[in-house]
Amino acid sequence: MNKINQLFQNRGDRKLLSLYFCAGCPTFEGTGEVIKTMERRGIDMIEVGIPFSDPLADGPVIQSAGTIALHNGMTVRKLFAQLKSIKDEISLPLVMMGYLNPIMHYGVEKFFRSCVDSGVSGTIIPDLPFDDYMKVVKPIADRYDIRVIMMITPETSEERIRFIDDHTDGFIYMVSSASITGAQSNFDESKVAYFNHINAMNLNNPRMIGFGISNKQTLKSAQDNAAGAIIGSKFVSLLNETKDTDKALDGLFEALRK
Which residues belong to the active site? Answer: 47, 58
DSSP classification of residue 13: T
DSSP 133: I
Please enumerate in sequence order all residues whose Cβ is within 8 A of that of 59, keeping only pairs 6 or more positions apart, or say none: 180, 181, 182, 233
Looking only at the bridges linking them, the beta strands covering 147-149 and 151-152 are: unpaired
Spatial neighbors of 137 by CB under 8 A, at least 6 apart, are 108, 125, 128, 148
Contacts of 106 (CB under 8 A, 6+ apart): 76, 77, 114
CB burial of 129-148 (b: ≥16 within 10 Å; e: otherwise) equals: eeeebeeebbebbeeeebbb
Q: How many CB atoms lie within 10 A of CB 116?
A: 13
Q: Give the Cα separation of 245 and 66 in Å (integer).
A: 17
Torsion angle in degrees (nearest 10) through CA of 198, 154, 212, 17? 30
Contact present, 65 and 111 (Cβ < 8 Å): no
Specify the 3-state DSSP secondary structure of 214. coil
Give dist(CA 125, CA 101) in Å, integer. 10
